Chains A and B, each alone.
Chain A
Amino acid sequence: MKPGLFDRLNRVGAWMVLLFLVLPALIAIPVSLTPKRFLSMPEGEYSLRHFRHLFTSPDWLSSFAQSGIIAASTAILATTLGTLCAIGLWRVTSRNTEIVRAFLLLPLIIPQIISAMVFYRLLVPMGLIDSYPGLILAHTVLATPLVLITVSASLANFDPRLEQASRNLGASNWTTMRRVILPSVKPGVYAGALFAFILSWDEIVVTLFISKFNVYTLPRRMWNGIRENTDPTVAAAAVVLIAITLIAFAISAVIARRRAQGAASKD
């Protein structure tokens, strides 16, 4: 079938939309290179001073570190909980599983502002406002559904007869889990861990409500910088974040390819 005029126009339009989606973020690059003290486009002259400030300022560095710690902890906890949960739901053959699954996905679907109220309400009486445990707890609840989804997707390709075979050969529950199920859902687990990390690393709305001073994550500092709208260090931070996004994206693409290869070799 030959593509008609409409198709061709639409294809050009599609590329333009894709550029519209990606290009605006790149404005951060020139702004971050301005030699001036305030947010502006550089005019002929470029300077790395804002990057230097970003990487030497204790404030920004501590935000990077805090976000890293919180995101890594969240990723570990969410991956553990989410993987167990996905395997559990997969093994239970009951009509209730879909309802339970939908229920467990709620934290992901419910608008963030409501989640922010929820955690604010939860953490104030617990005395965990503005603390690592508080933020990690909140982020874990939000991120685990993502792991649940990715691992469940991996399990959908997994042949339950393999598990049966493993048991028939005398393997215990634990051995079956460790030697048979986990290896085959590995790509889903990795992808889930990555998504959980990113979610926590990027999370701003809930964080705005439950952190204030002791814990000051990177998005929190960005938010402040954007609201104040003066310091070009924010632009440098945005560039770094874009770079990190691209790296994470490359990693996830590799995982996805592996998964595709794994699926293909099984067929």
Chain B
Amino acid sequence: MQDKQFMKETLLDGARAYRAGRMDRRTFLALCGAAGVATNAVLAGDAQAAADHIVMWNWGGISEECHGNAIGVPFTEKTGMGMRFDTSGPLEGKIREMVDSGNVTADVADGDLFNAVSLGPTGHLEAIDYDIVSKERTLPQYALEYGVSVILYGYAFVYDTEAYGDNPPQNWADFFDTEKFPGTRSLYKWANGSLEAALMADGVPGDQLYPLDMERALAKIQSIKDDSIYWGSGSEVHSMVVSGEASMAIIWQNRGKNIEEDTEGRYKLVNNQAMAMPGAYIVPKGNPAGREAAMQFIATAQEVPSQLAILECLGMTPSNPEAFSQIPEHQQAYAITSAQNIDKIVFNDPVWWGENSSEAVNAFLDAIS
């Protein structure tokens, strides 16, 4: 962390020096090369950068670097525009607040596709321009009026191999079976993924989940309530698992890969019945760089090289079917749309979530408290 920070500062200093003519181009490029970062991303990150840039509103951390390299660099090559970040996390309420306040400072928000369903019709989002953005470069059910899925992430689970080594849990039914697999479970606090997992555990086939039978799902979740704890952020569940507080946890599949690595394989990720969640880049109404620039950005993100770069950097899986066959060998087990996994997973319905998420979250919070 410290090193990264140091590198970032060196680069920013370098960018300023380069601009001011104190550093020649070759030295600057070498510096960027040494840091493994593209020149444009650095220049764009510089606070002194020119006004024509696009602001991506994401969740910070490593995704700042990843989005910059995977999408920012090709986007800059294509359009000449730079890229900057607002890393405060585009919660749905925050997007609404930004548009309502009339002070829209972000162009593209790293959100969920269901945000597009709930925020679009209320006038908080720009509609997707399918003349620029490709409908073919995403899964057919995920090209909606106000949002298009650019990546997929997944809800899978990890388990402790020391606790269940001989007879490991293999599906959601096992996850919810605390008699056969005693131990503490950790579930996602905001309902998403947990509800579907509960229904599958209760015997609902993965392609018939929607509309969700809330009562049935909540009953299943309550059946393991005494053995459950709940997490609100990726790092929280990470520390719950690594500290041994939970022996099984519903988890984002990319986080599961990190946990496997951090615990040297003690915890293992199970992608069977994992739920693919469409992540979407949505555009707040009246974005400063203009609708077209935002659409260009989304179109860039759909391209196969960007898709694969995001997979490598963030562990988010491509949603562009062209990229499915190009998923590299070492990612096969983790990418949810890889040939190895794609037949085992189920797909989230953003329309149901967009229309029902308030009720679902409230009911879920009520059920677990």
Can you list 6 A-B contacts with CB-CB less than 8 angstroms, sorted by A residue number?
A: A124-B101, A127-B101, A127-B103, A212-B89, A227-B233, A229-B235
When distances are taken between beta carbons in the complex, the residues of chain B under 8 Å from A127 are 101-103
Chain B nearest CB from A120 CB (Å) reads 8
**A38 and B88 within 8 A (CB):** no
**B233 and A213 within 8 A (CB):** no
**A53 and B2 within 8 A (CB):** yes
Which of B97, B100, B102, B235 contacts A230, CB < 8 Å?
A: B235
Contact with A along B84-117 (1 / 0, CB 8 A): 0011110000100100111100000000000000
Which of A53, A56, A124 contacts B97, CB < 8 Å?
A: A124
Any chain B CB within 8 A of the CB of A24?
A: no
Q: A227-B233, A228-B236, A229-B236 are in contact. Are A129 and B97 (CB under 8 A)?
A: yes
Any chain A CB within 8 A of the CB of B141?
A: no
Task: Classify the interface of chain B: helix, strand, loop or mixed.
Answer: helix
Q: Which 4 pairs from chain A and chain B are nearest by CB?
A: A213-B88, A212-B88, A228-B235, A124-B101
Chain A nearest CB from B276 CB (Å) reads 26
Interface residues of B in 28-77 (CB under 8 A from A): none
When distances are taken between beta carbons in the complex, the residues of chain B under 8 Å from A120 are 97
Any chain B CB within 8 A of the CB of A111?
A: no
When distances are taken between beta carbons in the complex, the residues of chain B under 8 Å from A38 are 239, 242
When distances are taken between beta carbons in the complex, the residues of chain A under 8 Å from B102 are 127
Complex CA–CA separation, A229 to B242 (angstroms): 12
Contact with B along A26-46 (1 / 0, CB 8 A): 000000000000110000000
**B239 and A39 within 8 A (CB):** yes
Any chain A CB within 8 A of the CB of B238?
A: yes
When distances are taken between beta carbons in the complex, the residues of chain B under 8 Å from A53 are 1-2
When distances are taken between beta carbons in the complex, the residues of chain A under 8 Å from B238 are 230
Beyond contacts A124-B100, A229-B239: 12 other A-B pairs, Cβ-Cβ < 8 A, are A53-B1, A53-B2, A56-B2, A57-B2, A57-B5, A124-B101, A125-B100, A127-B102, A127-B103, A129-B103, A212-B94, A227-B232
Interface residues of B in 230-245 (CB under 8 A from A): 232-233, 235-236, 238-239, 242
Contact with B along A85-127 (1 / 0, CB 8 A): 0000000000000000000000000000000000010001101
Any chain B CB within 8 A of the CB of A58?
A: yes
Q: Which of B94, B97, B102 has the most CB of A within 10 A?
A: B97
Q: Chain A: residues with CB nearer than 8 A to chain B?
A: 38-39, 53, 56-58, 120, 124-125, 127, 129, 212-213, 227-230
Q: Which residue of B lies closest to A127 (CB)?
A: B103
Q: Which residue of A lies closest to B90 (CB)?
A: A212
Q: Which residue of A lies closest to B262 (CB)?
A: A38
Chain A nearest CB from B205 CB (Å) reads 36
When distances are taken between beta carbons in the complex, the residues of chain A under 8 Å from B9 are 58
Complex CA–CA separation, A213 to B90 (angstroms): 11
Chain A nearest CB from B42 CB (Å) reads 16
When distances are taken between beta carbons in the complex, the residues of chain B under 8 Å from A230 are 235, 238-239
When distances are taken between beta carbons in the complex, the residues of chain B under 8 Å from A58 are 5, 9
Chain B nearest CB from A264 CB (Å) reads 53
When distances are taken between beta carbons in the complex, the residues of chain A under 8 Å from B5 are 57-58
Contact with A along B205-248 (1 / 0, CB 8 A): 00000000000000000000000000011011011001000000
When distances are taken between beta carbons in the complex, the residues of chain B under 8 Å from A56 are 2
Complex CA–CA separation, A58 to B88 (angstroms): 16
Q: A58-B9, A213-B88 are in contact. Are A227 and B101 (CB under 8 A)?
A: no
Complex CA–CA separation, A228 to B103 (angstroms): 29
Q: Which residue of A lies closest to B102 (CB)?
A: A127
Q: Which of A53, A120, A124, A212 has the most CB of B within 10 A?
A: A212
Q: A58-B9, A228-B233 are in contact. Are A213 and B87 (CB under 8 A)?
A: yes
Q: Which residue of A lies closest to B6 (CB)?
A: A56
Complex CA–CA separation, A228 to B236 (angstroms): 5
Which of B2, B103, B236, B242 contacts A227, CB < 8 Å?
A: B236
Chain A nearest CB from B346 CB (Å) reads 29
Chain A nearest CB from B255 CB (Å) reads 12
When distances are taken between beta carbons in the complex, the residues of chain A under 8 Å from B2 are 53, 56-57
Contact with A along B1-31 (1 / 0, CB 8 A): 1100100010000000000000000000000
Q: Which residue of B lies closest to A126 (CB)?
A: B101
Complex CA–CA separation, A212 to B94 (angstroms): 9
Q: Which residue of B lies closest to A212 (CB)?
A: B88
When distances are taken between beta carbons in the complex, the residues of chain A under 8 Å from B101 are 124-125, 127, 129
Complex CA–CA separation, A251 to B94 (angstroms): 40
Complex CA–CA separation, A72 to B76 (angstroms): 42
Chain A nearest CB from B56 CB (Å) reads 13
Complex CA–CA separation, A229 to B103 (angstroms): 33
Q: Which residue of B lies closest to A39 (CB)?
A: B239
Chain A nearest CB from B17 CB (Å) reads 18
Q: Which residue of A lies closest to B57 (CB)?
A: A213
Complex CA–CA separation, A56 to B9 (angstroms): 12
Complex CA–CA separation, A53 to B5 (angstroms): 10
When distances are taken between beta carbons in the complex, the residues of chain B under 8 Å from A227 are 232-233, 236
Q: Which residue of B lies closest to A130 (CB)?
A: B88
Complex CA–CA separation, A58 to B102 (angstroms): 30
